[in-house]
Structure 1
């Protein structure tokens, strides 16, 4: 038998079950994709606002190549396909941008499943009522932990000040004093006055609102964005609020002349707030002047001080005058929220 040279014609490719076209992992680069922000999520469809068309709403689906990549309200995404926002138009999300901040929680402190609530918000507005229901210090502490760990600037909004005046309950100053040493901005609102101070604090920013049911969060959102028409519930006779917001949604804040002035992201009213994903280091590291100091702490330090953490470097820093004792005490009171059982409105 004579030998011969082999060439490409001698190669036989067996066709696959779905045809003879070779499979490839190369994906389109989508260089013409339009950048957008996710403003709502509903049953496998994402409503997005293109960067260059703030008045347009585009419904999109997640592209197959993204797999199960989570996409939440506030995410920066790239869209291809029909981005005109027509009634039957459907675009595709082909990329999800890196998140600058994230608000997340778990159902409780033992739940391994982390729920991302909002992405890329600049500040977290923690809403709690001064009366009906009474202020929840435990909820605020946990929300502060989530804000510090997620890279959001926290702000406390105390609602229903008019009811507190009428009932003679806790004053705004008494509640705000709990976190005074943390330089936490505090804004007080009343039903009988427009929330002008709050609006000014939100202008030009992307702000997420968080609060447990019944504190007046949806009422505030409706006052800030009248077209939102968020459902408003009532507080039951036992002081527990009804759920009125069922999903997070980003709403455009407008200025006096109708020009874009920021985003208000309303989140569902919460009846529990777990922090299984957060460590004490995550919280302390949010403070630039303390992040370096805790590098000298022993492994596993919870930064609570004696007797739990007798060798915490924050005590050494305070002894040297580099940290005010009042500020350290306020920070540790918030850190106690990590060691305490999960906050629940039913407790």
Structure 2
């Protein structure tokens, strides 16, 4: 059944060991980006109905104190997660991106501004020589100082993912190029992750392989599961899972969301096995998701975590701007935060605004 309240959250107990697949600009060695890359994400720039309640307060805070930045940080379970942080960026072009990258430096100048349990993934002592954004190419080029290359092998892919997902979260940026002391890097220096082509979100994040999946017959889907911070705040973690190829990536993503996290010690289920994906269709910039659950009754509140995870996962895998959710054919869906999903809901511009 769909649980409507009192969801049990698991305490973080350990870290899932995920193989780091580093050869090739795609997800797997020997495969081209065209073979396995998911669609690019397109963010809804309008005021999403699902986020209106908290957005007003955040908006006033932006005007008074600065700007909201989304940075990808390592959590206590060793996953990368987007975290929204308020920062004074000033008016200088590219300042937001530079500050976001500075926040990602381990024990860096902004370490005190990060939520408890989160830390930067960039090597200690790293600074940014320059950050240039080419609006025409939608390309961000960042030049790091010498300490950037001082990291452990197991962090290499996470560093690439965190930089890419953070910078492509900036409006107008879809590609990233990495320089080191003014020189273009053709590969990462420790384990050789290739950098000859600009990086996009198509590289995935927190990569894992579904049970029994053959790499050569796989495709990636990015899912959003729930986790609990050290301050007992709920937040979302994106996971790119390799699954058997399918002509319906959005439907497969929701099926995997129902199947749940492979690492149930660190990540929590957002849906239960009783939920069925009846149909998914797209018209224009809106995807309609039709779910079935036999115990659901009209007017019953559904878990906010579930509905938000559906919106995040569907928009991530389709590039659609909005999602309309129906349950048992009913469209007057309301979550446990009293948010209505009766109309198409846009992907939130910012997620995981946790206490520092």
TM-score scaled to structure 2, two decimals? 0.29
With structure 1 as the length reference, what TM-score do the two structures score? 0.29
Q: Which has the higher contact order (CA 8 A, sep 6+)?
A: 2
Bigger-Rg structure (1/2): 1
